[in-house]
Chain A
Amino acid sequence: MRRAWSLVLVALLGLGGQASAADPARVELTAPKTVEGLRLADVDEDGAADIVVIEGRTVRIYRGRKGALPEAAPSWTGNVPPDVSFVDVAPPSRLIALGEKGVTRIPVFEDGAVEEIKGSEALTWHDSNRVVLAELVRAGGLLLPSKSGVRFQPFAGKPIPVELQPAHTVKAPGPFLEDTCNVVRSVPAVFIGRDGVPRGRAGDSVGVWVISGTTLAFENAAGQREQWDLSFLGAESEGKEVEQTLEDLDGDGRPDLIHRIFTNRDSRYGFFRTRLREKNDASKFSPTHKPAVSDIYLSGFQLPMELIDLDGDGRKDLVITSIQINAANTLRALSSGVVSAETRAFLNRSAEGGTFFRTEADALVKSDILVKVRFNYAGTVEVERSFTILLDGDFDGDGRKDLAIRTSATTMTVRRGTAKGVWEAEGKEIAIPPMGDAPDVDGYTADLDGDGKDEIALHYRGPEGGKDRLWVVRTP
């Protein structure tokens, strides 16, 4: 009796409550007012991923810990100099900063001097308001802009300068004083991969691949170059946009080409294998990419495609989420603020030879996406979407990616990756912190506690004038 009374007293006093009050399955991080960039990466290379958060010019890092979720407060906070516009994480324990004064390496978690990276080209401009997380650290080196294009600087080895033409567009302003003429100048995305020189020709093992204008170009540290003519793909036409992506789909270390032509109502994806020229082929261009190895057409508005190795076979699979523009979805959108979305997974078949992807999906999961239809001052219709669909988390550590979709303001449904299909048919609901007045939640996955299973970092966007929230959640 006395013992039972003691236990009750302990409980009432909350003495036992401190240990049980903390939920080991989730933690709320001390978030900045507005999260403008977020990435999960193992900055200190301790086997537990860290959370890098950007607000304006301030970088906060919440350190991952073995056996526990990150602490609520950031382990490191630093302000980036005003001339810097891009940063990247450069393990171990460094940030790379690119700005008007060149490129520097900034220590995090430990004391140390800021180190200038010599030979790099500085930017000629700066973003006054914020700094952006870019992917400058790649495949054992740094990607940096140069006078003639871009330079890949391996941490060990000879730099590879690549001449390329930046993408440059001008859009004329409208008739109002507050309109602007928008000029965009971009360094195209670069693929660091295996040599693209012809068979039998000795070359370096690593090279830089980039799409420059209508050419796919390759260059290695030995200065050997190859190029492929992509003009067969045609130019942008009125009302249709074009996206070109380089990704190694067949696992040979060299990038293949994905060409997407799209409108708001449909997309066509062409997948093309990169071929090397034969030893004695003296043509100006290496063999053409056409015909397409795979061709997928999908109707509906589509979110950006994702290329993720879902089944752990070492080859990237394709996932596309689309929203049909039809009477049913239109009525649902306007009456209840919800539309139906379809997430399709296409497994990579290149190991079997021939095609990359079949035209029919290997898996299809339907979910609801919250939408708000708004009319803006130019008369255009804007659709604000709210959804969380995570494709790259392995929550059970079995080597296969699981699918997590936000299914209500307080739950996500997790479908485990399966050996037979892609994902299990029925998922399991897990609780997440309530959305409250957050218009949307972005999710990120990584192993934050070093146990071989991924956790989820959730960024709850604040309403207008409100504050963002950050949570880390373990899936049961």
Chain B
Amino acid sequence: MARRYLVALAALVLGLSSPRQAEARNAGTYLVDPGGRVSAVRALDVNADGRLDLVVLVQDAKTADQSVLVMRTPSEPVKRHYYPPDHVNRIVLTGDLADAGAMAVGRFGPKGEARLRFLGPKGIIELQPDGMPALTAARTSKPTLFGRSPGRLLVIWDGVADLDGDGIDEMWFPLATGQGRMYVIGGTSAGDRALSVEPVNRASTSAEHLLSRHTYVPNLFPADVDGDGTKELLVLDETELVAWFLDGKRKPERLKLPFLEPDPKLGPEDQRTPRIQAADVNGDGFTDLLVTLITGKRTRLESLRTILFHYPGPFRDPKTGGLVTPRARLDTESIVLHPTFVDLDGDGKLDYVGDSIRGNRLDIIARLLGKDPTITFVGFRFDPKAGTFENAPYFTIQREYASAEALSNRFGRSADFAGDFDGDGHTDLLDLGNLEGVEVLRGVASGKGAATFAESFVPRIPVKEGLTADSLVVDLNGDGRADAVLWSKTSLYFLISKGSR
């Protein structure tokens, strides 16, 4: 009895003290050689089997040729690589696909089937996920402004959404003709239309280029501004927000945004820059406007602050016709690099997480000389009773950040709060830190209106060659727990949660 007890105790101790054991208990790790450098990853159920699959952009390190990997998530993973070889197909971008500048992933098929669309100067080529041509419609023959010369990276074009709720995605893009007017390809041809939205075009010349055309294509956001269940497209036009209704019946509506008017009292060193996002944070069917305003002196890091303003939808005041009064104003120190709205506590409302690198001149000097900075994450929960965000932080945590990201001015995302890895209903923290490894920390609500991310769920797994400052957190296998896809210059890594619940 005593001996069995001691053996069990030893096993328990060993299990707790060994990171590898903890890792094996809570998550499986897998590695795939994508055959090149990964530049972007998206998730979509390409074969309607209820599991999210992956679409990965890869560039060959030697030839710089681009290819697209479509990886169908299996019901049973294979050892080491997770994906069986026959679940991965590679589409090499040669021939007509060689000059496509962007790729869109969406439910473009006639019944909402997943498709890949390659946008280039000769038009749009649509492929099925297995690489076979989809039926080409005359509607996709319009030349686009996108293109790519040899050696350049293909980008993923996210101008895709199911605007009318019919289960088929719409897609918008700039045309090649004239100034590059925006065009919408609807789920059906009834939804096709040109918008009177044009990019800004700038001419330039340089020692390397005789003549250059720089086109700044505006960001169009899908948003339900009137709560009718269909989405409009929002675009900024100088100081006005324009909502395009794609039913073909209503004219675009304009709303002045006073905070975009230049302030004549500002001095040359004063910073006052609003950044606008749109999301339905309270789940009421109306898209809200979320503005993070950066203020302070441009030359003094310690003076800079980020202020979040929440304009609840519908954000046009019926009495004045102008923008509604903001319902919340949250001040945080320094510049929030990636303001994010995610459901932290599983209540169906979106909470706010801001990440910033703080400090003073001494910290800047240390950073410029190679010291890894610290990044501070602050979360604010959405309060359904108040109809806006709580004033007090839900959590404040500090983590390591890669000096290379800061020095290069890239400031990629080193952490993700979007996934519930242990399936307890509360989001957890996936942290890449200084990009030399990855770990998952459990998010735990303390019951006093605060949360902690101190408990290890997956202890730090070192990645010798270093990770790219980006990740995809989704439930790949449909088990109700989040998984993570990470990548480095040469490999794809999968962290498949299997613990707790």
- Where the two chains meet, the residues of A that have a C-beta atom closer than 8 Å to any C-beta of B are 85-86, 98, 124-136, 143, 145, 150, 165-173, 175-190, 213-214, 231, 234-236, 238-239, 243-245, 263-264, 304, 325, 327, 330-331, 334, 372-381, 463-465
Closest to A188 in B: B209
> Which residue of the partner chain, among B145, B209, B408, contacts A167 with CB atoms under 8 Å?
B209
- The answer to whether A184 and B213 touch across the interface, beta carbons within 8 angstroms, is yes
- The answer to whether B337 and A379 touch across the interface, beta carbons within 8 angstroms, is yes
- The answer to whether B204 and A180 touch across the interface, beta carbons within 8 angstroms, is no
- The answer to whether A239 and B408 touch across the interface, beta carbons within 8 angstroms, is yes
Q: What are the residues of chain A within 8 A of B408 when measuring CB–CB?
A: 239, 263-264
- The answer to whether B219 and A373 touch across the interface, beta carbons within 8 angstroms, is no
* Cβ-based interface call for B326 (8 A): no
Closest to B159 in A: A181
| CA gap between A375 and B383 in the complex, in Å | 33
* Cβ-based interface call for B397 (8 A): no
| CA gap between A184 and B409 in the complex, in Å | 21
Closest to B271 in A: A377
Given contacts A244-B208, A325-B368, A334-B364, contact A177 B234 (CB under 8 A): yes
Q: What are the residues of chain A within 8 A of B335 when measuring CB–CB?
A: 375, 377-379
- The answer to whether A143 and B268 touch across the interface, beta carbons within 8 angstroms, is no
- The answer to whether B149 and A177 touch across the interface, beta carbons within 8 angstroms, is no
Closest to B205 in A: A134
Q: Which of B99, B174, B218 is packed against the most chain A CB atoms within 10 Å?
A: B218
The contact sample of 29 A-B pairs, CB cut-off 8 A, is A85-B203, A125-B178, A125-B179, A125-B180, A125-B215, A129-B202, A132-B205, A133-B205, A134-B211, A135-B205, A150-B210, A167-B149, A168-B149, A168-B152, A169-B153, A170-B101, A170-B147, A171-B155, A177-B241, A181-B157, A181-B219, A182-B215, A185-B212, A185-B215, A238-B489, A330-B369, A372-B299, A379-B357, A379-B411
* Cβ-based interface call for B207 (8 A): yes
Identify 11 new A-B residue pairs, CB closer than 8 A, beyond the known A129-B202, A175-B338, A176-B277: A143-B210, A173-B217, A177-B221, A180-B217, A183-B215, A189-B210, A239-B408, A376-B298, A377-B273, A378-B411, A379-B337
| CA gap between A178 and B407 in the complex, in Å | 25
| CA gap between A321 and B418 in the complex, in Å | 46
- The answer to whether B489 and A168 touch across the interface, beta carbons within 8 angstroms, is no
| CA gap between A353 and B408 in the complex, in Å | 40
| CA gap between A377 and B306 in the complex, in Å | 9
Closest to A85 in B: B203
Min CB distance, B295 to chain A, in Å? 9
- The answer to whether A189 and B208 touch across the interface, beta carbons within 8 angstroms, is yes
Closest to B146 in A: A170
Q: What are the residues of chain A within 8 A of B235 when measuring CB–CB?
A: 177
* Cβ-based interface call for B214 (8 A): yes
- The answer to whether A243 and B217 touch across the interface, beta carbons within 8 angstroms, is no
Closest to A331 in B: B365
| CA gap between A180 and B369 in the complex, in Å | 32
> Which residue of the partner chain, among A128, A168, A171, contacts B201 with CB atoms under 8 Å?
A128
> Which residue of the partner chain, among A85, A177, A378, contacts B276 with CB atoms under 8 Å?
A177
Closest to B62 in A: A234
- The answer to whether B37 and A238 touch across the interface, beta carbons within 8 angstroms, is yes
| CA gap between A130 and B269 in the complex, in Å | 27
| CA gap between A165 and B148 in the complex, in Å | 10
Q: What are the residues of chain A within 8 A of B364 when measuring CB–CB?
A: 334, 373, 381
| CA gap between A330 and B101 in the complex, in Å | 39
| CA gap between A238 and B235 in the complex, in Å | 31
* Cβ-based interface call for B200 (8 A): yes
Interface 0/1 of B152-188, CB less than 8 Å to A? 1101111000000000000000100111100000000
Given contacts A130-B203, A177-B221, contact A236 B214 (CB under 8 A): no
Given contacts A168-B99, A330-B368, contact A245 B207 (CB under 8 A): yes
Q: What are the residues of chain B within 8 A of A464 when measuring CB–CB?
A: 268
Within 8 A of A (CB), among B108-151: 121, 145-151
> Which residue of the partner chain, among B202, B208, B294, contacts A377 with CB atoms under 8 Å?
B294
Min CB distance, B94 to chain A, in Å? 14
Closest to B216 in A: A180
- The answer to whether A127 and B148 touch across the interface, beta carbons within 8 angstroms, is no
- The answer to whether A169 and B150 touch across the interface, beta carbons within 8 angstroms, is no
* Cβ-based interface call for B64 (8 A): yes
Given contacts A176-B219, A238-B489, A377-B273, contact A186 B209 (CB under 8 A): yes
Min CB distance, A136 to chain B, in Å? 8
| CA gap between A359 and B215 in the complex, in Å | 40
- The answer to whether A184 and B212 touch across the interface, beta carbons within 8 angstroms, is yes
Closest to B339 in A: A175
| CA gap between A381 and B121 in the complex, in Å | 35
- The answer to whether A186 and B213 touch across the interface, beta carbons within 8 angstroms, is yes
| CA gap between A294 and B182 in the complex, in Å | 48
Min CB distance, B174 to chain A, in Å? 7
> Which residue of the partner chain, among B214, B241, B337, contacts A182 with CB atoms under 8 Å?
B214
> Which residue of the partner chain, among B101, B219, B411, contacts A380 with CB atoms under 8 Å?
B411
Q: What are the residues of chain A within 8 A of B151 when measuring CB–CB?
A: 213-214, 235-236
| CA gap between A165 and B177 in the complex, in Å | 18
- The answer to whether B219 and A184 touch across the interface, beta carbons within 8 angstroms, is no
Q: Which of A143, A327, A377 is packed against the most chain B CB atoms within 10 Å?
A: A377
- The answer to whether B211 and A187 touch across the interface, beta carbons within 8 angstroms, is yes
Q: What are the residues of chain B within 8 A of A235 when measuring CB–CB?
A: 59, 63-64, 151
| CA gap between A463 and B298 in the complex, in Å | 16
Q: What are the residues of chain A within 8 A of B356 when measuring CB–CB?
A: 379
- The answer to whether A178 and B215 touch across the interface, beta carbons within 8 angstroms, is no
- The answer to whether A172 and B158 touch across the interface, beta carbons within 8 angstroms, is yes
| CA gap between A374 and B268 in the complex, in Å | 11
Q: Which of B209, B335, B356 is packed against the most chain A CB atoms within 10 Å?
A: B209
- The answer to whether B199 and A180 touch across the interface, beta carbons within 8 angstroms, is yes
* Cβ-based interface call for B55 (8 A): no
> Which residue of the partner chain, among A150, A167, A177, contacts B219 with CB atoms under 8 Å?
A177
| CA gap between A190 and B219 in the complex, in Å | 34
- The answer to whether A213 and B205 touch across the interface, beta carbons within 8 angstroms, is no
> Which residue of the partner chain, among A98, A127, A177, A378, contacts B236 with CB atoms under 8 Å?
A177
Closest to B154 in A: A170
Closest to A437 in B: B268
Min CB distance, B380 to chain A, in Å? 18
Q: Which of B150, B157, B271 is packed against the most chain A CB atoms within 10 Å?
A: B150
Q: What are the residues of chain B within 8 A of A128 when measuring CB–CB?
A: 200-201
Min CB distance, A469 to chain B, in Å? 17
Q: What are the residues of chain B within 8 A of A134 when measuring CB–CB?
A: 205, 210-211
- The answer to whether A86 and B205 touch across the interface, beta carbons within 8 angstroms, is yes
Given contacts A143-B210, A331-B365, contact A183 B145 (CB under 8 A): yes
> Which residue of the partner chain, among A130, A243, A330, A465, contacts B208 with CB atoms under 8 Å?
A243
Given contacts A172-B155, A377-B271, A463-B268, contact A183 B409 (CB under 8 A): no
Closest to A373 in B: B299
Q: What are the residues of chain B within 8 A of A245 when measuring CB–CB?
A: 207-208
| CA gap between A169 and B199 in the complex, in Å | 16
* Cβ-based interface call for B385 (8 A): no
* Cβ-based interface call for B327 (8 A): no
* Cβ-based interface call for B301 (8 A): yes
Min CB distance, A372 to chain B, in Å? 7
Given contacts A167-B209, A180-B199, A375-B298, contact A334 B365 (CB under 8 A): yes
* Cβ-based interface call for B265 (8 A): no
Q: What are the residues of chain A within 8 A of B156 when measuring CB–CB?
A: 172
Q: What are the residues of chain B within 8 A of A463 when measuring CB–CB?
A: 268
* Cβ-based interface call for B251 (8 A): no
Q: What are the residues of chain B within 8 A of A243 when measuring CB–CB?
A: 208
| CA gap between A71 and B155 in the complex, in Å | 52
- The answer to whether A180 and B150 touch across the interface, beta carbons within 8 angstroms, is no
Given contacts A184-B213, A325-B368, A375-B335, contact A380 B409 (CB under 8 A): yes
| CA gap between A244 and B149 in the complex, in Å | 15
Closest to B145 in A: A183
| CA gap between A235 and B214 in the complex, in Å | 22
- The answer to whether A330 and B357 touch across the interface, beta carbons within 8 angstroms, is no
Q: Which of B304, B334, B368 is packed against the most chain A CB atoms within 10 Å?
A: B368
* Cβ-based interface call for B275 (8 A): yes
Closest to A214 in B: B150
Interface 0/1 of B390-419, CB less than 8 Å to A? 000000000000000001110100000000
